């Protein structure tokens, strides 16, 4: 069972000389797996994230999210698929500054049909799971970095998405707070969430089950963290 699948994906930017930001990438992200994506600057990490997160479409090849071919959807359908099936976590948290923690977590449910009471209950349950039940009325500037990232993680999970996609999720956190947030990622993974983390940091990537190494728009190798490496 596959949460996201890329088949012979190429992404070409044409500003002068064409640049193949991704060049023949095939990758299956099984449901319930925990994948890290690493690679030097310019290797295609952001481009891959944008495709896996349904923010962009490939120039060639196919991307399937939750068994739907992203390239065949209208803009509106793509927005809806992203809103319901992808949970985003960013280095800079990207919370709405004027909304409380509870309101931030509840927000993505506007893509679903749930009424206000249901949305608040679901948001409250997730805040509880990330250990912030007592902070639901706080605004982001009244929370620490680690607490903000936990709110962001709760928000990413509120629609029960096919995949949670985190871009340098601990880049703005001190070592201790980072460990706490990554522990939470591990807990949600254990509970069945499909996690994908893009990171420059080896110790962050090592929390995953496998590391996809990108180089020059290609998958250089996939490192299984049980010690076995598949050379491509």
Task: By CB under 6 A, tell whether 2 contacts ligand ADP.
Answer: no
Q: Which of 3, 6, 21, 205 binds ligand ADP (CB under 6 A)?
A: 21
Task: By CB under 6 A, tell whether 43 contacts ligand ADP.
Answer: yes
Task: By CB under 6 A, tell whether 17 contacts ligand ADP.
Answer: no
Distances (CA, A) of 231 to 23, 35, 224: 17, 17, 11
Contact between residue 37 and residue 45 where contact means Cβ atoms under 8 Å apart:
yes
Contact between residue 89 and residue 105 where contact means Cβ atoms under 8 Å apart:
no
Minimum CB distance to ligand ADP smaller for 45 or for 207? 45
Q: How many residues bind ligand ADP (CB under 6 A)?
A: 12
Minimum CB distance to ligand ADP smaller for 22 or for 208? 22
Contacts of 72 (CB under 8 A, 6+ apart): none
Instruction: Give me the helices (H) in 30-73, please.
Output: 45-52
Task: By CB under 6 A, tell whether 42 contacts ligand ADP.
Answer: yes
Letters for 59-88 (x = contact with ligand ADP by CB under 6 A, - = none) are ------------------------------
Smallest distance, ligand ADP to C-beta of residue 44, A: 4
Closest by alpha carbon to 87, among 1, 17, 149? 149
Which two tokens mark 229?
Answer: 């490496």
Smallest distance, ligand ADP to C-beta of residue 209, A: 21
- Pseudo-torsion of CA 44, 50, 56, 58, nearest 10°? 40
Minimum CB distance to ligand ADP smaller for 46 or for 79? 46
Task: By CB under 6 A, tell whether 215 contacts ligand ADP.
Answer: no
Contact between residue 31 and residue 208 where contact means Cβ atoms under 8 Å apart:
no
Minimum CB distance to ligand ADP smaller for 132 or for 212? 212
Phi, psi at 27, each rounded to 5°: -155, 135
- Which stretches of the chain bind ligand ADP, using CB under 6 A? 13, 15, 19, 21, 39, 41-47
């Amino acid at each position: 069972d596959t949460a996201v699948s890329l088949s012979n994906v190429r992404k070409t930017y044409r500003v002068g000389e064409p640049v193949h930001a991704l060049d023949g990438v095939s990758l299956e992200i099984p449901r319930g797996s925990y994948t890290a994506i690493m690679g030097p600057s310019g290797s295609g990490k952001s481009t891959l994230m944008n495709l896996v997160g349904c923010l962009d479409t490939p120039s060639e090849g196919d991307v399937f999210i939750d068994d739907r071919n992203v390239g065949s959807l209208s803009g509106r359908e793509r927005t809806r698929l992203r809103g319901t099936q992808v949970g985003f976590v960013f280095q800079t948290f990207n919370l709405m500054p004027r909304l409380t923690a509870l309101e931030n977590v509840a927000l993505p449910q506007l893509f679903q049909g749930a009424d206000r009471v249901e949305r608040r209950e679901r948001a409250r349950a997730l805040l509880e799971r990330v250990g912030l039940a007592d902070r639901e009325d706080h605004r982001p500037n009244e929370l620490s970095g680690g607490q903000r990232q936990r709110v962001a993680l709760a928000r990413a999970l509120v629609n029960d998405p096919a995949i949670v996609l985190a871009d340098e999720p601990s880049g703005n956190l001190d070592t201790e707070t980072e460990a706490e947030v990554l522990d939470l990622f591990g807990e949600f993974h254990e509970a069945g969430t499909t996690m994908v983390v893009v990171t420059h940091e080896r110790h962050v990537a090592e929390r995953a089950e496998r590391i996809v190494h990108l180089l020059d728009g290609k998958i250089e190798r996939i490192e299984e963290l049980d010690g076995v490496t598949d050379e491509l």
